[in-house]
Amino acid sequence: MSLSLNQWTTRRWSLPEAVDGCARHGLEAVGLWREKVAETGLARSAKLVREAGLRVSSLCRGGFLTAGGLPGEEGRRAFAEALEDNRRAVDEAAELGAACLVMVVGGLPGVRPGEPLPAGFSRDVAGARERVAEALASLAPYAGERGVKLALEPLHPVYCPDRAVLSTLGQALDLALPYPEEQVGVVVDTFHVWWDPALHEQIARAGRRIASYQVCDYLHPLPADVLLGRGMMGDGVIDFPPITRAVAAAGYIGDVEVEIFNADVWAADPDEVVATMKERYAGVVTVPAAPFTVT
Amino acid sequence: MSLSLNQWTTRRWSLPEAVDGCARHGLEAVGLWREKVAETGLARSAKLVREAGLRVSSLCRGGFLTAGGLPGEEGRRAFAEALEDNRRAVDEAAELGAACLVMVVGGLPGVRPGEPLPAGFSRDVAGARERVAEALASLAPYAGERGVKLALEPLHPVYCPDRAVLSTLGQALDLALPYPEEQVGVVVDTFHVWWDPALHEQIARAGRRIASYQVCDYLHPLPADVLLGRGMMGDGVIDFPPITRAVAAAGYIGDVEVEIFNADVWAADPDEVVATMKERYAGVVTVPAAPFTVT
């Protein structure tokens, strides 16, 4: 396994800056975001990472497939638009040569990420999960034909209302296993799954289905905006080595992406963030942390 | 099933006031808290509820059993103290004739509820879970001898660091099933479990092990203090009727407790809170809510 910078960790950097930064810090891989790729242009982005000799460990992100659970024409239109957008994301992942397209499947129909509950949203979480399965049946073969692997990401249950009704690794595997391994895999993101009592059993069950291993810490208490509760490894509650060992034992040989959404990290000098990330990766992710790391 | 007021919902009321309130609003059951019982005195509390003809649907709470995961003498002392406190809680539940003693098992060793991570806390979530199982082996027979049922409460994973390493109903059942049904059961609290993809399967598996069914809504977004994210039924994202039906189908015939931790609810006139609770119970918990209830 080798360290990869998910570019949202250094979000002040443009894609060219992130590519330069990876080279400067001796990283072999980068995780890209569609917004950043769009800013730079798809063809130019692909050229830049190729010329820098970087692997693209993932493209973030496809998904948001659940709005089809809204009633009538609104639901049908939302579902069609989501599929269309996801096909574009697959095309982008193919052109970038990304190891996978990360799928954040979406929350309750009608609820937008980070926003208050709107009028007319749906409480039907089971139905929303069925919409995800339906969308996958359409997208998996499309991705497979283009050599792209969809990576289903279970998100911490605190994000179930607005970001992902996919809440556990076991649930992600239930969705992924009917498809060929090269079409659909799963993401193991320590932030989202560290608490899961079935984690080790499900990592073993996942085996080669693990398409991406992402690490960052889980801060406690969470900040008011729970999206920003991701911290530098060592700053939170996660005991990384047992998870890292389990992922390795399952046969994962891909890159380890560090993806941090955190106001302080974003405010810091990106070069310092990358330096800290390398240090913490070596000191915390692969060997036990001190009882508590002062930050 | 019949409606019960968990007295923390109307926490401005003392125990005698809550007992009066239940009588005034025609409720047949009340869920008590140890702090409130202690204020009024155990014997007097027991007498008051008995004379009012109320069932005690639960006593909150035992638990916080994980500090034994701290190293050395500190851990041993914390574990012994936790067991001692839990035996007292069992004795109180027996004297009150409570249907069960709710067990909030505790978070990572050394982390106190709602407080920042302290120096020297433990990240060993698996070890913390073993401490809970160990404590249960000691407490279950003690409770059984006194006619008290321990009710293991899985808490939403957002509380895993500081309140409960017991995070899913399935995990709670794995712990409960080795013991006789009259000694150890589980709590189904809608706030904590609504997101769980295995919920319906595990409710069916639980069957008569369900010792308490608690309802309140899950607000979105959560307030900055996530403990206060519990809302009046209809104010959040939970679709209650499928859960209520599943609990009934599992054979649960106990009371349905409404337990709300919410700054606005606590600031309101308790009599109005109880009136709203009755109305919402009838209108939301047993029949589908409107797509969105304006509060």
> To the nearest whole angstrom, how far is the Cα of A278 from the nearest Cα of chain B?
21
CB proximity B257 to A under 8 Å: no
Residue whose entry in the numeric block shows the structure tokens 């905006």: A225
Least CB-CB distance to A117: which of B114, B116, B237? B237
CB proximity A220 to B under 8 Å: yes
| Among B179, B181, B148, CA closest to B58 | B148
Q: What is the mean pLDDT of each run of 10 residues along chain B (295 residues)?
A: 96 98 98 98 98 98 95 95 98 98 98 95 97 98 98 98 98 98 98 98 98 98 95 98 97 97 97 98 83 51
Q: Show the tokens assigned to B84.
A: 């001692």
Burial B100-138 (b: 16+ CB within 10 A, else e): bbbbbbbbbbbbeeeeebeeebbbbbebbbebbeebbee
CB proximity B237 to A under 8 Å: yes
CB B114 within 8 Å of CB A221: yes
CB proximity A239 to B under 8 Å: yes
CB B231 within 8 Å of CB B217: yes
The per-residue pLDDT for range A33-78, each reduced to its tens digit, is 999 999 999 999 999 999 999 999 999 999 999 999 999 999 999 9
Name the average pLDDT for chain A: 96
pLDDT of residue A294: 42
Domain range list for chain B: 2-285
Tell me whether residues B291 and A168 touch, CB distance under 8 A.
no
Count of beta carbons in the 10 Å neighbourhood of residue B50: 13
Tell me whether residues A117 and B160 touch, CB distance under 8 A.
no
Q: Which amino acid is at A123?
A: R
CB proximity A119 to B under 8 Å: yes
Distance from CA of residue B161 to its chain's centroid? Answer: 17
Per DSSP, helices labelled H in chain A are 15-24, 34-40, 42-51, 72-96, 125-145, 169-176, 190-193, 199-206, 240-249, 263-267, 270-280
Q: Which chain A residue has the Cα nearest residue B124?
A: A239
Tell me whether residues A120 and B222 touch, CB distance under 8 A.
no
Tell me whether residues B124 and A239 touch, CB distance under 8 A.
yes
> To the nearest whole angstrom, how far is the Cα of A23 from the nearest Cα of chain B?
34
CB proximity B117 to A under 8 Å: yes
Q: What's the rounded Cα separation, in Å, for the pair B50 and B53?
A: 5
CB proximity B111 to A under 8 Å: yes
pLDDT of residue B212: 98
| Among A163, A165, A231, CA closest to A194 | A231
Which residues of chain A does B114 touch, with a Cβ-Cβ cutoff of 8 Å?
Answer: 221
Size (chain A), residues: 295
> To the nearest whole angstrom, how far is the Cα of B238 from the nearest Cα of chain A?
6
pLDDT of residue A273: 98
Per DSSP, helices labelled H in B116-269 are 125-145, 169-176, 190-193, 199-206, 240-249, 263-267
Hey, which CATH number is domain B2-285, 3.20.20.150, 3.40.470.10, 3.40.50.300, 3.40.50.10790?
3.20.20.150
Q: Which amino acid is at A289?
A: A
Which residues of chain B does A126 touch, with a Cβ-Cβ cutoff of 8 Å?
Answer: 242
Count of beta carbons in the 10 Å neighbourhood of residue B88: 13
Say if the ipTM goes beyond 0.85: yes
> To the nearest whole angstrom, how far is the Cα of A124 from the nearest Cα of chain B?
7
pLDDT of residue B295: 43
